[in-house]
Amino acid sequence: MPKNVKNLEKLQQVVILGSTGSVGLNTLEVIQKQSHKFQVFALTAHKNISLLTQQIALFHPKFVVVTCQYAHQKLHAELKEQGNITPVLFGHESIIELMTHPLVDIVVGGLVGAVGLMPLITAAMHGKRILLANKEPLVMAGALFIQALKEGGGVLLPVDSEHNAIFQVMPRDFSIGRKPEGVTKIILTASGGPFLHTPLEQLDKVTPEQAILHPVWKMGKKISIDSATLMNKALEVIEAHFLFDLPGSNIEVVIHPQSTVHSMVCYEDGSMLAQLGMPDMRTPIAYCLGWPDRIKSGVEMLDLTKMGPLEFHSVDINRFPAIPLAYEMMKKGNVWPAIFNAANEVAVTAFLDQKIKFTDIIYCIQKTLEKMDKSIDITWSGERLSFNDLEWLLHIDSLARQTTRSVIQEKNQVKVN
């Protein structure tokens, strides 16, 4: 990695993992409005180099990392032709190396799926401020992540709108990973996605195009599908357990279609504190970038006089079976949340590729859990994971993905026969 990076200490140096995704785009919007406080140190992307090229021209990062080999070669050639000397690095190892750079202050974790685990744990161990937007690192290895923060001096701030809302109304002296004083329960709100009122018998006919049309939020395809199945909330339950050090019995999910109340915290004196705002990711991103101060995000203020009624409903577990599964995985602990997450990632990809039906997503997850429960390959006598077990955890993640693919293949073979 080039060493001639000078005079960058005056501004907070930000690395954005997944700069071409929705979190990355919103982060760059906030940074653009706060250019006197923050500077883009590095951008990473998989293969959307047309958008990445525009970002390079606008923000002049010191480094760029591309994880698709063909896209890396193409971007390198295009920048060379333009006379742009920005170093273009390749692969996940380069992303991990960036996490150790002494000039990096803030890392925005916007990568989709399990690929963000190792970079963000590395960032935690090197004392970075981590703005966590993807759920998978905490779901897969929450205890290890919190341990890495404590040992490395890193700071974790949740960007997910629900966890960010909870963090905003926690006690003043609260810090991530520590049990909050006086809190009896946290309530995660869920919009219910696009099929909240769709008859259950029609769900097996919905298309990927329909499933990604979230009624409130603008998100990427994977998280939009997770919102439609409520798997996003299932993963958030597990994530909340690690962020706020609360058992499942103190974490509740309610359906709130308007997505105006982003989540709530209940206190032992009977108070319930909620964070409200427009459904715009720039608000939690700006809160985390500026923390402990508040900075302008560009989001308009919520006008209470123009709002309609706010609805809150209990979760129908027949419609959203991912929720009870999440509590079960959290209770089992160990590697089970990682298996749960891996199975979902594979099943969602299969649905997007039209290899399975929408209703098959949860079915494939359940069958994977059943198969893995009978597998001697995941037998492990340790009571908790340690850093030495990360490689083993990734092996289990890979095994779960293979198992889910086999479940999908078996299901499709039965369908054909």
Q: Write the pLDDT tens digit of every residue in 165-186.
A: 999 999 988 988 888 999 999 9
Which ranges of 220-281 would DSSP assign to H, the alpha helix?
221-229, 231-244
* Structural domain ending residue among the three candidates 158, 173, 198: 158
Per-residue pLDDT of 136-160, as tens digits, reads 889 999 988 999 999 999 999 999 9
Q: Based on the fold, state whether residues 145 and 175 are members of the same structural domain.
A: no
Per-residue pLDDT of 29-39, as tens digits, reads 999 999 999 99
CATH number for the domain that contains residue 402: 1.10.1740.10
- pTM, full prediction: 0.89
Q: Based on the fold, state whether residues 133 and 235 are members of the same structural domain.
A: no
Give phi and psi for 313, each to the nearest 5. -135, 150
Is residue 3 domain-resident? no
Q: What is the mean pLDDT of the chain?
A: 91
Q: Based on the fold, state whether residues 210 and 85 are members of the same structural domain.
A: no
Is residue 106 domain-resident? yes
What average pLDDT score do residues 220-229 get? 90
Residues contacting residue 308 through CB under 8 Å, at least 6 positions apart: 258
In the block, tokens 């690095």 appear at 89
Is residue 1 domain-resident? no
Q: Based on the fold, state whether residues 293 and 379 are members of the same structural domain.
A: no
Is residue 352 exposed (0-12), middle (13-18) or buried (19+ Cβ within 10 Å)? middle
Q: What is the pLDDT confidence band of residue 417, given thresholds at 50, 70 and 90?
A: very low
Is residue 4 domain-resident? no
Is residue 398 domain-resident? yes
Is residue 142 domain-resident? yes
Q: Based on the fold, state whether residues 214 and 349 are members of the same structural domain.
A: no
Least-confidence region, from 176-190, 300-314, 326-340, 403-417: 403-417
Q: Based on the fold, state whether residues 180 and 153 are members of the same structural domain.
A: no
Task: With beta carbons less than 8 A apart as the criterion, state whether 143 and 384 touch.
Answer: yes
Q: Based on the fold, state whether residues 45 and 123 are members of the same structural domain.
A: yes
What average pLDDT score do residues 292-316 get? 94
In this predicted structure, the answer to whether residue 387 has a pLDDT above a threshold of 80 is no
Q: Based on the fold, state whether residues 250 and 364 are members of the same structural domain.
A: no
Measure Cα distances from 270 to 95, 101, 257 in Å.
46, 46, 25
Task: With beta carbons less than 8 A apart as the criterion, state whether 358 and 211 touch.
Answer: yes
Q: Based on the fold, state whether residues 241 and 107 are members of the same structural domain.
A: no
Q: Based on the fold, state whether residues 267 and 405 are members of the same structural domain.
A: no
* Residue-number span of the structural domain to which 168 is assigned: 160-331
Per-residue pLDDT of 317-349, as tens digits, reads 999 999 999 999 999 988 899 999 999 999 999
Number of compact structural domains in the chain: 3
Task: With beta carbons less than 8 A apart as the criterion, state whether 179 and 243 touch.
Answer: no
Q: Based on the fold, state whether residues 301 and 417 are members of the same structural domain.
A: no
**Nearest CA to 107 among 179, 278, 242, 118?**
118
In the block, tokens 């998978």 appear at 136
**Nearest CA to 297 among 28, 56, 52?**
28
Q: How high is the pLDDT of residue 49?
A: 93
Residues contacting residue 323 through CB under 8 Å, at least 6 positions apart: 230, 233, 234, 237, 253, 315, 317
* Structural domain ending residue among the three candidates 277, 298, 331: 331
Is residue 49 domain-resident? yes
What average pLDDT score do residues 57-86 get? 94
Q: Based on the fold, state whether residues 245 and 361 are members of the same structural domain.
A: no
CATH number for the domain that contains residue 130: 3.40.50.720
Of 286 and 307, the structure prediction assigns the larger pLDDT to 286
What average pLDDT score do residues 359-378 get? 89
Residues contacting residue 58 through CB under 8 Å, at least 6 positions apart: 28, 32
* Structural domain ending residue among the three candidates 297, 331, 365: 331
Is residue 5 domain-resident? no
